[in-house]
Structure 1
């Protein structure tokens, strides 16, 4: 992350949005696989068949799931939900980087340079605040992304406009915010830990001559892996709550149990699927999170520096 004083507000928003757009397209297939695995509630150790699960597929592993989706839904199946996801990633990244910058600048104003927080603490606060704000603002798009990625050939929604209309009609405004509680409970420590680790290791790694490239990208990968693993169960619960409602039995997994509330959902998963059930899709999530964060941070830094070199760093606007 660039220092709070680097770049105007418009430059920061543009760099963040560009980073989100590119990152999302690159990792879209892995995101679909992750969601499918997270929504699979049956135990793979039990004797199962396609018929006994009411037509639900049985996914085992990242590569086999990728092959299954391509075989039965075509290559485009790996980009299901990409439109709301792209909208979410662009908006999320722009809000996240702007909020992070604004929060750290506010801390500087409140406490001054002499009494400022340690870098890791400042990054944690800024990252947590930025993550919470971006999550709450873009959450309806996140829910739409999940529902589109969860549907098979028997499509629940045929278009983004239809999905918005049906959710509003059948579930009300609250329907767009199903699972927001675990989402916020997840994102605050996730982004806090992510930015704290990223800012701590970015400069030391930047001084090394790494054979695989930028220290920014490496720092982003390390920070993402640690943070993502710690809060993954909340991400899984969020996904399962997002597909609740009148369409719950119409997705590719037709046997998704009914979940109500974060704590009750965790208990229900532990009872039915044991601890392993809370970590379904973790492997592909880490595979997705590392390149996504690396691409996001690398693109953000480069685009921001490019914008500053061509447009200048408006110190008046930056301080606003």
Structure 2
């Protein structure tokens, strides 16, 4: 195996000593906005497929047909309803995400040694720590986003949605799904980071910037993690949209276990995999874009630092 190429005493994966927190956060913010914006219409479809409600809802057959149906019946702009909530939240949340990731990874020795050395535990712990911090910031924005994505949503804007939810359901409505979100995103992120780091080390042992490797490794890692954690994503959607349900039982869901019990009673185990296909289809390119965007921004700051 060829020796890793180093520049000025450090390689690509181990950041230069004066690589600022601000630059790291900017790289993360860029990655987060790019990740969520590109695949937003498919994410909207996933939300609609996961909602449990007794009132009549559209039945979608196939992702492409669903996109056409929604666009034709409700208008093309409907596919992007709520995206401003994602843009407002994703930038700061992903900035915190990647800043935490790099800080914890460095503290655990994940950046020590040569670029080809593998640190799966450091990657997993770093990823889990990053998602705990970022989800605390992103959760309210995600609640607003999903309320806006629902069929026949009554909210005129994200501001109107946020005010209405706060006035009618209280501040807790923005965080009722947070424990479930963590139960989903902590293993999701740990699996994703381990898979990403492992795939990257195999395909790119020198550790230098390689957009093709970052893209492929990100997509593969995201797809695997998304499939495994889909049941918790369904429960999260059920909790975040409970205020729009017409049934008392659904409106009064208390938390993760209560939601799981209701879902199991109504639809059996298959109910936990509602929206599996659009979730994977959304996550694979999203994580590919996220990692590619982050690594590209990271490489840019490193090159600028060298100059």
Report matched runs for 1:59-70 at 5 Å. Answer: 59-70=60-71
Q: Deviations over 1:206-259 (max 9, x none)?
A: 369xxxx701111111111111111111111001110112x333xxxx999443
CA shift for structure 1 position 308: 2.3
Question: How far apart are residue 55 of structure 1 and its match?
Answer: 4.0
Structure 2 residue 276 is matched with structure 1 residue 282: yes
Q: Normalised by the size of structure 1, how large is the TM-score?
A: 0.82
- How much has 1:118 moved relative to structure 2? 6.2
Listed as ranges, the gaps of 5+ residues in structure 1 are 43-52, 314-320
Query: Which aligned segments of 4 or more residues in structure 1 are displaced greater than 6 angstroms?
Result: none
Q: Distance in 2 between matches of 1:189 and 1:72?
A: 38
Q: Compute the displacement of 1:293 (Å).
A: 0.6
User: TM-score, structure 2 length as denominator?
Assistant: 0.86
Residues 1-320 of structure 1: pairs in structure 2 closer than 5 A: 3=13, 5-6=15-16, 7-39=19-51, 41=52, 54-108=55-109, 119-152=119-152, 155-206=153-204, 214-245=212-243, 247-249=244-246, 257-258=250-251, 259-312=253-306
Asked whether the 8 Å contact 1:84–1:142 carries over to 2, the reply is yes
Rounded Cα–Cα distance in structure 2 between residues aligned with 1:99 and 1:68: 41
Give how far 1:268 is off: 1.6
Please give the alpha-carbon distance, in whole angstroms, between the structure 2 residues aligned to 1:101 and 1:58: 43
The 3-state SS of whatever aligns with 1:59 is coil
Residues 176, 255 of structure 2: 8 Å contact kept? no
Question: How far apart are the structure 2 equivalents of 1:265 and 1:32?
Answer: 21
Contact 1:178–1:242 at 8 Å: present in 2 too?
Answer: yes
Unpaired stretches in structure 2, ≥5 consecutive residues: 1-11
SS in 1 for 2:39: helix
1:199 and 1:15 map into 2 onto residues whose CA distance is: 18
Tell which deviates more after alignment, 70-79 or 161-170. Answer: 161-170
Deviations 1:145-172 (A, max 9, x none): 11111142xx421122222222221122
**Residues 35-85 of structure 1: per-residue CA shift (max 9 Å, x gap):** 11111x37xxxxxxxxxx644222233223212211211111111110001
Tell me, yes or no, if the aligned pair for 2:45 and 2:66 is still in contact at 8 Å.
yes
**Distance change in 2, residues 1:4/1:271 (3 Å):** farther
For the residues of structure 2 that align with 1:277 and 1:171, how far apart are their CA atoms? 26
Number of residue-to-residue matches in the alignment:
286
